[in-house]
Every structure is written in C-alpha cells, then in structure tokens.
Amino acid sequence: MLFSKLLLPTLKDAPQEAEVISHKLMLRAGMVRKVASGIYTWLPMGLKVLRKIENIVREEMDASGAQEVLMPMVQPKELWDETNRWEKMGPELLRIQDRHKRDFCLGPTHEEVITDLIRNNVKSYKELPLNIYQIQTKFRDEVRPRYGVMRGREFLMKDSYSFNIDEACLEETYLTMRNTYKKVLERMNLDYKIVSADSGAIGGDASEEFHVLAETGEDTIAVSDSSEYAINTELLLKDGEDISSLEGKPSPDGKGTIEIKKGIEVGHIFQLGKVYAEDMKANVLNNEGKASTLYMGCYGIGVSRLVAAAIEQNNDDKGIVWPHSIAPFDINIIAIGFEKDQKIAEASYNLYKELIEMGYDVLLDDRKDGFGTKIKDSELIGIPMNIIIGKQFLETEEIEFRTRSGDTSLSKISDSQTILDFFKDK
RNA sequence: CGGGGUAUAGCGCAGUCUGGUAGCGCACUCGCUUUGGGAGCGAGUGGUCGUAAGUUCGAAUCUUACUACCCCGACCA
C-alpha cells in the first residue's frame, strides 16, 4: 500500500473523549472513528488489524475441528420467548419492530438461533459432537459503553456453540476450546491468565474467563504467585470484604499467596449443560434409540476487544508496538525525498514490489514529508520493521533497517536477504 | 438509572467571570525554499460558538429547557 493513497488520518493530539491509552492510540493512529457512543467505524488501518486477529481465531478454530457459519444479526422474538430471555435480558437487548409490527432484537449472542438450527437438522448421536462458530457483529445496549472499542455496544465477536451427547463429551470439547484459546492468545503474544469465573446471566455449570493483563483492565483477578491459578475476585470475596484484603492471603489452590491484578476479559468459555436444550427441546436419538437432550457449551472471544487489549499491553510513549502477528503492516519503507529524487523513488518502489512478492505486507511512505514526520507516524501506528531509504542511499547505496524497538543496521540495497535476516532475529 | 464533568474550525485549546458581532497552534490549499527526528517564508480555505427559547440596542458570554459525549458505580466478549 502506498501511504499517500491510504485513508490514514493520524493525529498529534488525542481527542478529549479518549481516556485510556488504547482508545487514545486507536484514534491517533487513524484506526477507528466514533459514530455514536459505543459505535465505531473501522478505518483501513484498524480493519487490517481486526482482520489479522480474526484470521488467527479462524485458523485455530478450524484446526480444532469447529465449523464456521454465519447467523443473522436480527432475530425474532419467538425464539427468545422459548428460553424466556426476551423477558430476562432486560434493556440490554435492543428490540426493534419490522413494518408488520413484529418483534425482533439485535443479537447480543446466538444460543437461541444455533439451538434452533441444530434441533431442526441434527437427529442422531452419530452426528455429534458438533462445534459451530461464527465471527460476527453483536449488539448489546450496554448501560455504559466505555474506553472506545474495549466496551462498545456494537462489537465483533467469535462465538461458538458445541453440541454433545453427554457430559463427558462436553467436557472434552470444552478442553479443546480452552486449548484453542490459549493458542490464539499465544500467537498474539499476549500476557494472559485463565480465570475461574461466575457463569453469570448466560447460565450453566462451569466457566472460565481469559484475561489479558493490563493496568486499565476492568476486572480484578486474584492470581497465585507460584502457580497458574487465577480466580475472579468476585468469587473470593465475602460480604463487606475489601479487594485489597485478599492480597497476600494463601492461594485457594494451596500453592503460594494471592496477588491482585487487573485484567481485560477477552474470552469466556462455558459448559452450559442442558439448560438451553431443555427449554428449546433440542434432542437427538441416542444409541438406544431414545430421545436424549443435548449438552451444550458456548465459547466467546471478543475480536474487536482484542485489538484494544493488545494495544493496552503493547505501547510506549511514541505509540503502538504491535506484536508481529497482528501488525497492520510487516514493513514500512520510509523513502525520504520520494517526490524529488528519482533514484530514491525507483529504488524504494522496486524494493516495495520485491518484498510484496516475498509475501510481506508492505507500506511505502511515498509522501512529500520529511524524515521526522514519517518516522513519527510509523512509530505511532506501530509498524514492527522499517526500512529507511534516504541520504545514505544516495551516497553509498546503503539503506537502514530499524525495528520498532529501535534496533538498527545498515546494508547495501542489493542485498535484500540481509534485510530479512536482520528482521528475523527481532 | 444515581453522582461528577464537557460542548467554540478536522484535532488540541483561548475567549465566558466583567455582553460589543470569534481567535491561537496543528492540520488543509497554492507558490517558492526544504527533506536523517513532527521544516521555513508568503498568500489562502474552513466556524449559524451543541440545540431551542428568553433577557438585551446588542449574546460564544447572562437565564431556562433540552440533547450529545466523557468519567465514577451496578452489567458484560
């Protein structure tokens, strides 16, 4: 992509509406713009990151054996009546009517729609287990949207639903998903904790949350200082107890003592059991030829929230520091004097083409601006690798490589392998 | 919904107390000079001061109502 053609409105000052660092940087780096409270437009730079995360999630889901579908955002009241959630959900469920005055809602989650699909189309235990997922826009009319896309009302989520013949089989799928989520977060290079949780309004038996650790996290979690154990502090507190009183107490798992941390909940996995299947009469025939109520699990990852969470964990005073796997571009070629000097223009354009052919996602900063402007923008938007073609090149044919963290090296432009070797170690 | 705050050009802000017909920095446009850390000079574009009503000869400024947005709390990927 040529920088001069890209809709990338970077800002020197963060708009006053933004409070937390990720929100500020997403606005400054031209990733999103607000349309209404909790509702955002994703600009090209933001969408590129969103798609990269989406693809990591998709790859890992597919690898786990799950199958992708796409369900509607608009859902009829009748389905929600079956589980009584039309009543239970309250004002968070955004209700609308069509031209015939029939009631619908904007989907905040899809248990009803998917269970309806499965009960109508799956008849035998032989077709199980099934794990069906989608990556789709959700709408929850949050009481208080906050922190940009971190808690939007409209947001992108991967939600999956498993259908199992019995509890043991559900447990197995649950563990597979647990592992899948670990892989997703590890591929994104995020520091996270798996936290025992309250299953909340969605209901069911067992549930765990995946938290990306960050100071600005909305949740407080208690972690053991000497094991993997972590639990939502809500589950540990007795009436009237203060969160800080937990610090230093023995960890409930018997290993080490409790530390209090802040986390951003980016994933949540549940063993729902038979709740929804019973309400909606979702059965299959078992191996004895008798109707058997399905066991369900549901598993969510906040894809758009992960964008914000990744920034919360990876930034410095200059801007975003993207983990390589989700950076909007791998390499930014900063061409100084692109407009003026044909030698620079040709060299940088050829290198740009060459790197794209090698499979890299490359940005070429062909703007008329000077070095300062270009490197500031590159640091702000957090491109991991930079190649600077300027004065040095005109004198000695050398170009400079520079990582986002500031490591630099020089090489002849003809030796592009050196470039890649340099970046490979970083 | 309870509490607190903000609203003036795309972004950041001044002007409001003490009413006199809107300004600064950045961005943007044109020209020339620049180009290795957000360049310089010159000339420009852009605002019914959140909305509505009121007070006044005159309102960004005073009064009232409303709206939007942000922060703290209950809820959640």
The predicted complex's ipTM stands at: 0.94
**CB-strand contact A19/B, under 7 Å:** yes
**Structure confidence at residue A241 as a pLDDT band (50, 70, 90):** confident
Distance, CA of A247 to CA of A81 (rounded, Å) = 44
A393 CB and strand B closer than 7 A = yes
| C-alpha–C-alpha distance, residues A130 and A133, integer Å | 10
Q: Is pLDDT of A422 > 90?
A: no
Report the pLDDT value the prediction gives residue A239, as an integer from 0 to 100: 65
A155 touches strand B (CB under 7 A): yes
Burial class from Cβ neighbours inside 10 Å (0-12, 13-18, 19+) for residue A48 reads: middle
Distance (Å, whole) CA A401 – CA A234:
48
Distance of A379 CA from B23 C1′ (whole Å): 33
List of A residues 361-380 with CB within 7 A of strand B = 368-373, 375-377, 379-380
Interval A373-398 mean pLDDT = 95
Residues 6+ apart with CB under 8 A from A224: A230, A251, A253, A255, A256, A257, A258, A259
pLDDT of A141 reads 93
User: What pLDDT is stored for residue A167 in this prediction?
Assistant: 94
> What are A254-290's pLDDT values in tens digits?
899 999 999 999 999 999 999 999 999 999 999 999 9
Residue A415's pLDDT band (cuts 50, 70, 90): confident
All structural domains of chain A = 3-316 (3.30.930.10), 329-424 (3.40.50.800)
Residues A373-390 have a mean pLDDT of: 97
Q: Which of residues 197-226 of A touch strand B (CB under 7 A)?
A: 200-202, 209-210, 218-219
* Distance, CA of A13 to C1' of B17, in Å: 29
For B35, which residue's CA is nearest its C1'? A370
Is strand B within 7 Å of residue A301 (CB)? Answer: yes
Taking only the tens place, the pLDDT of each residue in A170-214 is 999 999 999 999 999 999 999 999 998 865 545 455 789 999 999
